[in-house]
Amino acid sequence: MASRTDNQNSLARRLRLVLWHDHQPFIAVIIVCCLIGMSFYFWRRSVVSDGLIDIDRSSRIEAEFRVDINSADWPEIVVLPGVGEKLARAIVEYRMECGPFESLSAIKDVPGIGEKKLEQLKPFLLPIAAR
């Protein structure tokens, strides 16, 4: 028990060497100045300027993407509207068995893709280069 008290006294003595009683008012002034500075900064950012950023009111950004149906793997195809994992895998399997698509209309040969689905996909597909 005496050892613990000696350690606490030793720590207190070391702290007194670092932080003297005469320094306390100076440190208090520094802390108050920092608090005033921080308060002024946040007041200026929120009241004086345009205010804080309101993410809910920011404009929506539309991302445009297009997929090369002859080189895309199924994870890239599955992000197209109306295409699930099963259909994306079917497109890749059909391409592997029959070769690359010659035109966008050739995609209708894949089971599960009709005229309506093809029209839905066309804006998101890159044109197929002539061979």
How far from chain centre, in Å, is Cα 109?
Answer: 38
Report CA torsion sign: 73, 78, 83, 85. positive
What are the extents of the domains in the chain?
A: 2-54, 74-124
pLDDT tens digits for range 40-66: 888 777 766 665 555 666 677 777 788
pLDDT of 119: 92
The per-residue pLDDT for 75 is 93
pLDDT (tens digit, 9 = 90+) per residue, 86-126? 999 999 999 999 999 998 889 999 998 999 999 999 989 98
Predicted confidence at residue 58, as pLDDT, reads 62
Predicted TM-score (pTM) of this structure: 0.52
Class of domain 74-124: mainly alpha
Residue type, 116: K
Contact residues for 121 (Cβ-Cβ < 8 A; gap 6+): 80, 81, 82, 83, 107, 113
In angstroms, the CA 90 to CA 83 distance is 10
